[in-house]
Amino acid sequence: MAELTGILFDLDGTLLDTLPDLAFALNSVLLEEGRQPLSPGLIKPAVSYGAPGMVRLAFGESQDQEVFAKRMAKLRETYSDHVAERTRLFDGMDKVLAEIEKRGLVWGIVTNKRRYLTQPLLEQLGLNQRVACVIAGDDTVKGKPHPEPLWTACQAMNVSPAHCVYVGDHARDIEAGKRAGMGTLAAAYGYLAPNEDPFSWGADDVLQTPVDLLQWLS
């Protein structure tokens, strides 16, 4: 690919380990209805599908639509109240970001997570002062796997897609990056289901740990 000037990250499962707070929120909804909580490992693959996917995992595919909507609303409310209590950068990611900044590269975030949840999370973790741009799930008309959010991020960072790489832990991330005309890296350390194979997504490379990105940069 062309000389790298920008790096874009997916948020949940790629840049940040948000699973502990998301699992807490989902299990709070379950406990409120007198049900048994689920293990974080069981919840993890559903995170990529947002609140709808997590509620379907917890309560089944067939739910009354009104009840389903109330469960999602409760999940989001609880999560919003505890959005950054247990969430942290993945191990090694702070070192990766420091090296990116040291090299004079810009980095941003493109996530399907809604703005009202994304912004406070980044602020509480002190990342809003470092990130060059944040494109949330409701900032563009179309979301991933459509390339629009990635193009919007490149425009905000004043970086050509050809000089950018997108890092994500879901096949839709890689598809979006490829459709946007940028390099792609699959985060195998992220929130994948046991039967998912990131090597089948067609990414330029697969990262087993965040620190692998340093080797890729070199």
Cα–Cα distance, 135 to 155 (Å, whole number): 11
| 54 in Cβ contact with 28 (< 8 Å) | no
Known catalytic residue: 10?
Answer: yes
Q: Burial level of 80, CB count in 10 A (0-12/13-18/19+)? A: middle
Catalytic residue from among 10, 139, 169, 173: 10
Extract the tokens encoding 181: 């005309």
- Helical residues (DSSP H) of 82-196, grouped into ranges: 93-102, 115-124, 148-157, 171-180
Cα–Cα distance, 178 to 120 (Å, whole number): 30
Catalytic residue from among 12, 21, 169, 212: 12
Instruction: Supply the residues annotated as catalytic.
Output: 10, 12
